[in-house]
Every structure is written in C-alpha cells, then in structure tokens.
Amino acid sequence: MSMFFLTAFLVCSPLAISDEPETPAAEVGLPWVMDIATAKEMARKEGKDILINFTGSDWCGWCKKLEGEVFSLPAFHEDAGKQYIYLYLDFPRSEEAKAKVVDEELNGKSRDEMGVDGFPTIVLADHQMRPYAKTGYQPGGPEKYLEHIVELRAKGDKIKALLATEDEAQQGEMLPAAFDVMAEQGLLGFPAFGKYLELAEKSDNPELVKRAASHRAHGQLLKLLNTQEPDFPTIVQFLKDNSKMDGPEVLNALWFCQGWMAEQGDEDGAKLFLSRMLNSPLVQENERGRKMIEDALHGIDHDATDGHDHDGDGKPDH
C-alpha cells in the first residue's frame, strides 16, 4: 500500500528523518558482540542485561551520530558496561559490511519480534533477550543518554518483575503496571508477551481490559493498512467504529482515507476525519501538521464553493 506518512512530522523522531546529520568523529568503540547466542551467554554468566543496537552501520546517518556522540565516548562505557552486554545487530547495505553480519536471518527475526521499524533503535533486554525498553537517538551526549537509560530501566523493572514470577496471583497484581510499560514501549507484539495480553483481556480490572482491547484494535488497523491494495470502505468503517482511537497510525489512516473520501465526493466524511485529526493531542502539539490539515479542510471547502465535479459527469456536484 502506498501511503503518505503524515506521522513523519506529526511525531518527529530521528527514525523518520531521512536527511543525514553531521557526525562527530568516533574516539573509541564499545566491545560490541555481533552474535546473539554469544551475547546471551555472556549476559547470563556475568549477571547483566543486554543493550541491543539495531543499526545500519554504513548508511544510517543517525546511527553514526549516536555512535559518535555517545557510544564512542569512554564516559558511556564506564557506567553502562557494569550493567550491559552490548549486542550489535547490523543491517548494512554494502557487501563488505554484510560479510561481517553473523546471522542476517536471525537478526531480522529479532528486529521483527521487537517491533523495530527504524534505525537506530536501542533495545534493553534481560539475559534471555526479552525486551523491557526501546529508544533511539537522544541528544546530549553520554551523560544524558545514561540518564535516559536509567529512566527506561526503572520502568522496565516492572516488566522484569512480571517475567520473574510464575505465581498467577502475583502476575495479576503486577500486570497492570507492566502492561502499561509494554504498551508505551511498543513491546506487546513480542512473542513471549502474548500470554500477558491474553491475561489482560481476561482480567477483572475493567481499565486493563480496555487497554488490551485498544491494543488489539491498533493491531487490526495496522493489518488493514499494510496491504498491497487498500480496502478503503473497510478502513473507513473501522475508523468510524473506533472513533476514540488515537495515535500515529490512526492519524496516518485518517489522512489516507480522507483523501479517498474527498475523491469519492464524500466531502462531509473527509472533513469529519480531518477535524478528528485536529482534535488529536499529537496534532495540537505540532504546528506543521496542524497547518497541513487546516489547508486540506480549506481545500475541500474551496472545491465545494467552486462546484467541483467529483463524479466526472461534466456537471458541478453542487
């Protein structure tokens, strides 16, 4: 499906920016491990977690920037090295760099299971490579990045505590807090966490059941969007049936569908979807995105005033 990714600027992230940043020269490199099995064994023996760097070493400008500003500096390793084994999962383009990748297929499987959709993505995981936090490039150098990781690790402790117990009563008590972190970090799609989603759906906690249903709905929307040929009527109906949904993928779908609706002559429906986008907190915080949506609304009103011929019969529709 060919889509205009409005969310590239509605939710601005280095993962969505294509221009290459200036990259400082690297001083020293971290002791990266490139083999997943080796990293897991080292983490188990040394009682550490795993910091996974999903990167495109020979083409990703933000990956190089993160390396130059954070990972190459001694201050980072002096602290993080006490807690993490560093796993380097590279997705390069040159044949020379590809030759250094230990297991391209396994790297790809880990990328997909952990929901990595851009580079650089940094995942914090336990020694079994069960993820508990996910981030990317952050400005401010090694000190700020270390602070950021400490914050992520503190939240991730809720997931780790849940993973550590098999007692169903304890799981029930821990699940709401851990579920929130999994959802916030985009980790609910990880295969080992599927059972927690099912537990949340069966919970006696109404709010937790609601959050689980919301996650399922977002997953369903993504499946509708990720097709070769868009089924516009189905997507439009889904968005109408789930009028309270929000998030980047919802904004993307609303934008995508409003254009189709306008082309079909359903100006009122298109305007309703655009207005819904304007009410999203993600749009209200982004001047550029808000301006684009307002321009689209103005364009629909302008077409209606001019008697635009949507149905192609040679006569104005209004």
pLDDT digits (tens, 9 = 90+) for 59-90: 999 999 999 999 999 999 999 999 999 999 99
The verdict on residue 217 lying in a domain is: no
Judge if 157 and 256 occupy the same domain: no
Judge if 146 and 264 occupy the same domain: no
Angle between helices 168-184 and 194-201 (to 10 degrees): 110
Judge if 144 and 243 occupy the same domain: no
Which residues have a Cβ under 8 Å from the Cβ of 11 and sit 6 or more positions away?
248, 282, 286
Q: What is the token pair recorded at 292?
A: 């684009």
The verdict on residue 211 lying in a domain is: no
Q: What's the CA gap between 182 and 169, in Å, rounded?
A: 20
Share of the chain above pLDDT 90, in %: 76
Judge if 155 and 239 occupy the same domain: no
Amino acid at 90: D
Q: Is 279 exposed, middle or buried (0-12, 13-18, 19+ CB in 10 A)?
A: exposed
* Contact of 42 with 314, CB cutoff 8 Å: no
The verdict on residue 202 lying in a domain is: no
CB atoms within 10 A of CB 14: 19
pLDDT at 277 over 90: yes
Angle between helices 206-225 and 248-263 (to 10 degrees): 50
The verdict on residue 124 lying in a domain is: yes
The verdict on residue 95 lying in a domain is: yes
pLDDT at 178 over 70: yes
Q: What is the pLDDT of residue 9?
A: 41
Dihedral, CA atoms, 194, 196, 202, 205, nearest 10 degrees?
-140
The verdict on residue 222 lying in a domain is: no
Query: Of all helices (H) and strands (E), which one includes residue 204?
Result: none
Amino acid at 306: D
Amino acid at 171: Q
Judge if 234 and 157 occupy the same domain: no
How many structural domains compose the chain?
Answer: 2
pLDDT at 57 over 60: yes
Judge if 159 and 235 occupy the same domain: no
Task: Select from 164, 182, 200 the last residue of a domain.
Answer: 164
Judge if 20 and 118 occupy the same domain: yes
pLDDT at 102 over 50: yes
Judge if 72 and 157 occupy the same domain: yes
The CATH number linked to 99 is 3.40.30.10
Task: Select from 136, 164, 192 the last residue of a domain.
Answer: 164
Angle between helices 287-305 and 267-278 (to 10 degrees): 160
Q: Is 26 helix (H, G, I), strand (E, B) or coil?
A: coil
Which residues have a Cβ under 8 Å from the Cβ of 259 and sit 6 or more positions away?
270
Judge if 270 and 137 occupy the same domain: no
Look over the chain and give the mean of its residue pLDDT values, rounded to a whole number. 88
Lowest mean pLDDT among 21-25, 189-193, 278-282, 307-311: 21-25
The verdict on residue 235 lying in a domain is: yes
Q: How confident is the model at residue 171 (pLDDT cuts 50, 70, 90)?
A: very high
Task: Select from 108, 139, 164 the last residue of a domain.
Answer: 164
Give residue 252's domain range: 230-305
Q: What is the pLDDT of residue 228?
A: 87
pLDDT at 2 over 60: no
Judge if 146 and 284 occupy the same domain: no
